Amino acid sequence: MSPRTGSAGALLALLLLSGTARAQTAAGPPGAPAEPPATAPARNSGASSAASHNGTDAPAQSQSDSAGKPDDQSKQTKKDERLPPAPNADTGSDLHQSNRMMWVVPNFAAVSPGVKFQPMSPRDKFWVATEDSFDYSSFVWTGVLAAQSYALDQYPELGTGRAAYGRYYWRGLLDGISNSYFSEAIVPVLTHEDPRYFTLGRGGFFRRMEYALTRTVITYSDSGKNTFNISEVGGDLASSALSTAYYPPEERGMVKISEGWGTEMESAALNNIAKEFWPDIRKHLFRRP
- Give domain status of residue 42, yes or no: no
Q: What does pTM read for this prediction?
A: 0.72
Looking at the domain assignment, is residue 35 inside a domain?
A: no
Q: How much is the pLDDT for 83?
A: 79
Largest interatomic CA distance in the chain: 103
Domain holding 219, by residue range, is 100-285
pLDDT tens by residue, 226-245: 999 999 999 999 999 999 99
Lowest mean pLDDT among 66-70, 88-92, 164-168: 66-70
Strand runs labelled E in the chain: 100-101, 105-106, 110-111, 197-198, 218-220, 226-228
Phi (first) and psi of residue 198, to 5 degrees: -95, 110
Residue 83 lies in a domain: no
What is the number of domains present in the chain? 1
pLDDT at position 87, please? 78
Query: Can you tell me the distance from the alpha carbon of 70 to that of 68, in angstroms, rounded to the nearest whole number?
Result: 7
State whether residue 100 is helix, strand or coil: strand
Has residue 71 been placed in a domain?
no
Q: What is the pLDDT of residues 179-198, one digit of tens each?
A: 999 999 999 999 999 999 99
> What pLDDT is attached to residue 76?
56
Residue 125: inside a domain: yes
Residue 121 included in any domain: yes
